[in-house]
Amino acid sequence: MIRITLAQLNPTLGDMSGNVARMVQAAQQARQDDADVIVFPELSLCGYSPGDWLEDPAFLARIDSGLEALRQASRQMRDLVWVIGLPLPRTGPGKPLHNGLVVLKAGEELLRYAKQLLPTYNIFDERRHFEPGPDVAPVLKVGDTRIGLLICEDGWNDDGEDYELNPFERLQAAAPDLLVSLNASPSDVGKRALRHQVFTQASRRHGLPLLYVNQVGGQDQLVFDGASFAVEPQAGVVYEAQRFTEHVQTLAFADGRFSLLDGQRPAAIDPVGLSTQAFYRAQIVLGLRDYARRCGFSRALVGCSGGIDSAVTLALAAETLGAEQVVAITLPSRYSSTGSVTDSVALCRNLGVKLIELPIAPMVSSAETAYREATGLALQGVAAENLQARIRGLMLMAYSNQEGHLLLTTGNKSEIAVGYCTLYGDTNGGLGLIGDLYKTEVFALARHLNDSAGYPLIPEAILDKPPSADRR
């Protein structure tokens, strides 16, 4: 029997000392569980995806220092094997780095492996910085157990459609007892089910159990959901870690089967998982929480129009940071309806959020007069309408700068896709919570928030009103 700890951690990009501290803490928990091996996610030492930081010698030097700190920590836990994801230096033609892993025990390096399949699609551009690893089958022997190692994309080509190499086949030929995959797989609707499908099929095809260890947390525009899991060829997915939170779990492995430390089989896996709206909610909350924390913000600001987009954004901000840490500002103009203000008041009362009313009509009038006196021309049409949006953006950014609040933009994907927004106006802000949601999805998420609350947290008047920019 062997005991393996899955360390589903939330690394901070570039914070090597902080990431090392998290890894050591997880290793201490593994040691308490009498684990033989602890496995960390892909590039867990520096965080994924480091991008052009990999061009910075100081960044790479901090990675080296972090690895040395982990080497020293492993000397204090002599019986524990550490499997660590990190960039590895290389020489020769091509890129100077591999996306790789190092295996440590008692301060000694047992094995190095470089990821063979490098994705260059969607949000991935690994060939920009990394060279593919050689065609090898890395197998780590721990006691009597042979563990084959993969890094993320290595495990996604078992059908052979995307790359010539199939690391699964190479590893099967090396006769391991199980496979372990280190991952930094961003979340998306349906991604959990797709992972289960791909790796269950591969496990069955090759007759090999598999552990899938994933990163969790928000890294700027990316969110990683964790959801690490264990697969058996016959039973399929038999264990899954929590989603959208750090989770350190030790599993026992013997005779091709996984169990908990008390000998019991893990609880049955929910094949459906979260609803789409619950998934969006969890992903946005985690993404905002990590973005704010890592950028040094504890408070947020939302321009509240009385419409659905700002209402959903405000509700999610209050849930994430706490209502007392969020401020809403309503900025009515001479074209604003009474409902723009009254609905904002009702929403903020429900959420417990402070609301500031800042009328912009005097500022718009002054700007129009100044423009006319300087040019002899009157602002008309779209230019006059956009002036209002830009003054709103100006006031929101002024409050953000003065009070140290993170301004959240409120545009949805439908509006962004067709350019229905005002540059330097409602596009102002540091983060857009609903920028990946179509307008229909924003409405569905609002209904979900109300259903979860058990009452109209977002007033029905907001849900029922037609969209309006309040500019004419």
Q: Residue by residue, what is the 3-state secondary structure of the chain? A: CEEEEEEECCCCCCCHHHHHHHHHHHHHHHHHCCCCEEECCCCCCCCCCCHHHHHCHHHHHHHHHHHHHHHHHHHHCCCCEEEEEEEEECCCCCCCEEEEEEEEECCEEEEEEECCCCCCCCCCCHHHCECCCCCCCCEEEECCEEEEEEEHHHHCCCCCCCCCCCHHHHHHHCCCCEEEEEECCECCCCHHHHHHHHHHHHHHHHCCCEEEEECEEEECCEEEEECCEEEECCCEEEEECCECCCEEEEEEEECCEEECCCCCCCCCCCCCCCCHHHHHHHHHHHHHHHHHHHHCCCCEEEECCCCHHHHHHHHHHHHHHCHHHEEEEECCCCCCCHHHHHHHHHHHHHHCCEEEECCCHHHHHHHHHHHHHHHCCCCCHHHHHHHHHHHHHHHHHHHHHHHCCEEEECCCHHHHHHCCCCCCCCCCCCEECCCCCCHHHHHHHHHHHHHHHCCCCCCHHHHHCCCCCCCC
- 385 is an active site residue: no
Task: Find the catalytic residue in 46, 126, 131, 152.
Answer: 152
Is 152 a residue of the active site? yes
| β-sheet with 145-151: strand ranges across | 139-142, 145-151, 178-183, 210-214, 229-232, 236-240
Per-residue burial over 326-356, b if 16 or more Cβ lie within 10 Å, else e, is: bbbbbbbbeebeebbbebbbbbbebbebebe
Which residues, in sequence order, are bridge partners of residue 232? 236
For 162, list phi and psi in degrees, rounded to 5: -105, -25
The catalytically annotated residue of 46, 115, 232, 441 is: 115
115 belongs to the catalytic site: yes
Q: How many Å apart are CA 191 and CA 212, to the nearest integer?
A: 14
Q: Tell me the catalytic residues.
A: 42, 115, 152
